[in-house]
Amino acid sequence: MYAQMIKSEATQDDPEKLAAFQARIDAGDKIEPKDWMPAGYRKTLIRQIGQHAHSEIVGQLPEGNWITRAPTLERKAILLAKVQDEAGHGLYLYCAAETLGVSRDELTEMLLDGRMKYSSIFAYPTLTWADMGAVGWLVDGAAIMNQVPLQRTSYGPYARSMVRICKEESFHQRQGFDIMMKMANGTNTQKRMAQDALNRFWYPSLMMFGPSDKESVHSEQSMAWKIKMNSNDELRQKFVDQTVPQAEYLGLTIPDETLAWNEEKGEYDFAEPDWSEFFDVLKGNGPCSVERIEARQKAWDDGAWVREARLAHAAKKQAAKVAAE
Amino acid sequence: MSVPGLIRMGDNTLVLGQRVSEWCGHAPALEEDIALANTALDLIGQTQLWLGLAAEREGKGRTADTLAYHRDAWDFRNLLLVEQPNQDFGVTMMRQFLFDSWHLEALTTLAEHDDTEISAIAQKSVKEVTYHRERSSDTVIALGEGTEESHARMQAALDRLWPYVGEMFSTDGDDLTDMAALRPAFDTYLETVLTEATLVRPHSDFAHMGGKTGARHTEHLGHMLATMQVLPRSYPDATW
Amino acid sequence: MKQEWPLWEVFIRGQHGLSHRHVGSLHATDATHAIQNARDVYTRRKEGVSIWVVPAADITASSPDDKGSLYDPADDKVYRHPTFFDIPDDVGAM
C-alpha cells in the first residue's frame, strides 16, 4: 500500500498508562496531538504517515510524465487536476505528521537521503497513455481500498486527512477506468496499449499491499493501535475480487494463467507477485527509483532560493511594520 | 471576422497553460506546486472557450482540440512571451506576471465587448486572471525584494523577458480590441510592482515581433508542440 | 537546520452561512501568502466563500488533562437539548 512494511516500534512505557491508552483506542476514542501516547505509537505513526505523504509526492511524477502529452484539452485538464490533488494529499499528510513533532523539511530530507521510503508502485515507469488509465484504475483502486478504512484510524489528524483525501480521490479511479474503456474500445493499437499497461501494472499493483503479514508481530501491534485496519492479504484479495470482473468488462486479460474463481471460498485464486522484485524495489532498485529521487532532489535544491527569499521578504515586511508602529 | 482574434486569445492561454503545467510535481514548495497547477487549469479552461468559439465560427468542422493538436507552429498565433521556456522559478513567475498584467487589461476591456459571446468568455476569465495577477505580482515582489540571490535572479528574469513585452501591445485589425491602448494602464501597474520589488525596468524599448502574426516564432514553440501533439499526430484515427 | 515557512491553520466558511470550520493546515511566510495558499490548496472544489488563517503557533488549546473539568459538567444538563421535553402530538410542530 502507500505505507508498506511499516515496522511498528516496541514500546517501553508505564504499563498503567499503556493500558489506559489501549482502552481509549478500544473504545473508539480518537487520539489527539496533545494527548499522551506511547513513544512507539508516535514513532510508528510518523513513519507511516510520512511514507504515505512521500508516496503522494513521488506519485505525482509517473503521471506528471504525461500531462504535457495528454491527447485532448479535457484529458490534460483532468490529469493535471488529479496530479495536483496528489500534491494536496501529500500536503495534508505532511501536516498530519507535523502534529507528531516532526517537520516537513525533516521528512523531506529523510525521503531524499533514503531513510524513509515511498510506495514501491511509483518506482515503475509510465510508458504509454494507457498507463494513465492503468494507474488510475489499478493503483488508485488499490489505494482507495486501504484508505477508506483508514478514515477510522485512531489518530485524529491522520483520520481527518484521510476523510478529505477519500472525498477528493473518488474521481481518480473513475477517470482511470474511463481512459481504459476508451482505449479498450479504440483502435487495435489502443487495445494493445491497454493490454500492455495491464500486463505491466498488474503485479506491481498487487505488491502495493505488501507481503503477507499473517505472522508479523508488527502488524499485530499496529492493528491493536488501529493505525493499520486490515491485513495485507485481506485487502489484496478484495482488490483482486473487485478488479477481475472489471478487466473482463474491458475485454482485457489479467496476466495470470492461474487466476480462477474458487467456488468453495467464494473468491479468486491468483498468483503471488515476485516478492524478490518487490524487495529489490524497496532497496532502491526499481526501474525508476533513481530518477524519482533525482527529480525530488532537483525540485528541492532548485527551490531553495525561492523558499529562503520568501521568508526573507516576510521578515523585512514584518520589520518595516514594526518600525512604522 | 473575429476568428483570428479568438485564436490569438486561445493560443496564448494554451501555450502558457502548457508551459505552466510542466511545473507540476517540480515546484519549490507544495503550496506553490498546487498554485501553479491552478493557474494552468484556468488557462486550459479558457483555451477551450476561446478556441471552441473560434472553431465554431470558422465553420469548417474543427474543434478546440483540432485547433490545439493539428496545427503546426507557423499556424499558431500566440505571443512570443508565452512560448519562452520555464527556466528557473524566477523566469516562470516573471513571465507570468508580465502576461497576467497584460491579460487582465485585455480581458477587462473585452468584458465590455459588443459581441456577447466574447464578453461572456472575458467576464469569466477576468475573475480567474485577477487572482493570477495578484499571486504573480506578490511573488515578483517577494522574490525581487527577498535575498541578494533572489533579487539578482528576478532582475535577470526581467531583463531576459523584456524584449517580449512590446509585442503584447502591437496591434492590427485581427485583434479583438486595440491592444496598443492597454499600454498606459499596464505601464502604471508595472511601475508599482517593480518599485515594490526593488527591480529596475530595462531602458531599451526593443521588442521581438512575429508570434501573434505567425510571421516568426521562436525555436521553442516547435519543441513544445512536438511534445504536446504527439499522440493525436501519431495516432490520427484514434479517439481518446 | 534551516528555517521553515511557519505553519498556519486554515478555517473556511462554506456557502451555506455556517460558521468557519477548520479544514487543515499549510505553510506560508505571512498572512497574505497564507490566504493565497489556502485559496489554492483548500478551495479547489469551491468549498468556501471566506477564509481565515491563523498562525498555528498563536493558537492556545485546552489541555487534554482538563477534559473532565471542561466538558463533563455538561453531561447532566440534558435539559439543554430539545428532546428532553415531551410535547404532546396535538400541539403540532415545535
Length of chain B: 240
Q: What is the CA radius of gyration of chain B?
A: 17
CA A26 – CA A4 distance, rounded (Å): 24
3-state SS, residue A181: helix
pLDDT, position C93: 73
pLDDT digits (tens, 9 = 90+) for B145-168: 999 999 999 999 999 999 999 999
pLDDT, position C17: 73
Give domain status of residue C31, yes or no. yes
Give domain status of residue C91, yes or no. no
pLDDT, position C61: 85
Query: Closest chain B residue to A84 measured between Cα atoms?
Result: B34
pLDDT digits (tens, 9 = 90+) for B110-155: 999 999 999 999 999 999 999 999 999 999 999 999 999 999 999 9
pTM: 0.94
- CB of B33 less than 8 A from some CB of A: yes
Q: How many domains does chain C have?
A: 1
CA B217 – CA B17 distance, rounded (Å): 18
* pLDDT, mean over chain B: 98
- Whether residue C29 and residue B29 make contact (CB cut-off 8 A), yes or no, is no
Q: C touches which chains (3+ CB pairs under 8 A)?
A: A, B
pLDDT digits (tens, 9 = 90+) for A96-110: 999 999 999 999 999
- CB of C40 less than 8 A from some CB of B: yes
Looking at the complex, report in whole angstroms how far the Cα of residue B227 sits from the nearest Cα belonging to chain C.
28
Looking at the complex, report in whole angstroms how far the Cα of residue B180 sits from the nearest Cα belonging to chain A.
31
Residues in contact with B35: Cβ distance below 8 Å, sequence separation at least 6, in sequence order: B135, C36, C37, C40
pLDDT digits (tens, 9 = 90+) for A230-274: 999 999 999 999 999 999 999 999 999 999 999 999 999 999 999
Assess contact for B56 and B121: CB atoms under 8 A: no
| Average pLDDT estimate for A85-103 | 97
Looking at the complex, report in whole angstroms how far the Cα of residue A77 sits from the nearest Cα belonging to chain B.
6
C84 has pLDDT over 60: yes
Q: Is A322 exposed, middle or buried (0-12, 13-18, 19+ CB in 10 A)?
A: exposed
pLDDT digits (tens, 9 = 90+) for A118-144: 999 999 999 999 999 999 999 999 999
The complex's ipTM works out to 0.97
- Whether residue A80 and residue B237 make contact (CB cut-off 8 A), yes or no, is no
Give domain status of residue C42, yes or no. yes
- CB of A272 less than 8 A from some CB of C: no
pLDDT, position B106: 98
Amino acid at C31: A
B85 has pLDDT over 50: yes
CA A239 – CA A242 distance, rounded (Å): 5
Q: What CATH number does the domain containing C14 carry?
A: 3.10.20.520
Structural domain for C76, as ranges: 7-86
Which of B64, B230, B231 is opposite residue A73, by nearest beta carbon? B64
pLDDT, position C75: 66
The grid coordinates listed for B142 are 517577494
- Whether residue C63 and residue A34 make contact (CB cut-off 8 A), yes or no, is yes
CA A285 – CA A298 distance, rounded (Å): 20
- CB of B31 less than 8 A from some CB of A: yes
Give domain status of residue C94, yes or no. no
- CB of C29 less than 8 A from some CB of A: yes
Highest mean pLDDT among A172-176, B100-104, C66-70 belongs to B100-104
The grid coordinates listed for B225 are 508542440
Assess contact for A90 and A56: CB atoms under 8 A: yes
Q: How confident is the model at residue C82 (pLDDT cuts 50, 70, 90)?
A: low
- Whether residue C33 and residue B35 make contact (CB cut-off 8 A), yes or no, is no
- CB of B215 less than 8 A from some CB of A: no
**Which chain B positions have a beta carbon within 8 Å of C44's beta carbon?**
34, 38
Q: How confident is the model at residue C1 (pLDDT cuts 50, 70, 90)?
A: very low
Which of B31, B38, B134 is opposite residue C28, by nearest beta carbon? B31
3-state SS, residue B77: coil
- Chain-centroid distance, C-alpha C53: 11
Among A87, C42, A290, which residue's Cα sits nearest to residue B21?
A: A87
Query: Closest chain B residue to C28 measured between Cα atoms?
Result: B31
pLDDT digits (tens, 9 = 90+) for A200-241: 999 999 999 999 987 677 788 999 999 999 999 999 999 999
* C-alpha angle A199-A174-A62 in degrees, rounded to nearest 5: 55
- Chain-centroid distance, C-alpha A72: 27
pLDDT digits (tens, 9 = 90+) for C4-43: 999 999 999 988 778 999 999 999 999 999 999 999 999 9
CA A51 – CA A2 distance, rounded (Å): 7
- Whether residue A85 and residue C44 make contact (CB cut-off 8 A), yes or no, is yes
Give domain status of residue C2, yes or no. no
Among A266, A6, A263, which residue's Cα sits nearest to residue A150?
A: A6
Q: What is the DSSP string of A209-223?
A: T-S--TT-HHHHHHH
Residue A135 per-residue DSSP state:
I
| Average pLDDT estimate for B35-56 | 98
CA C45 – CA B103 distance, rounded (Å): 25
Range B3-234 has CATH code 1.20.1260.10: yes
Query: Closest chain C residue to B135 measured between Cα atoms?
Result: C36
- Whether residue B41 and residue A61 make contact (CB cut-off 8 A), yes or no, is no
- Whether residue B29 and residue A314 make contact (CB cut-off 8 A), yes or no, is no
- Which comes out higher in pLDDT, residue A290 or C77? A290
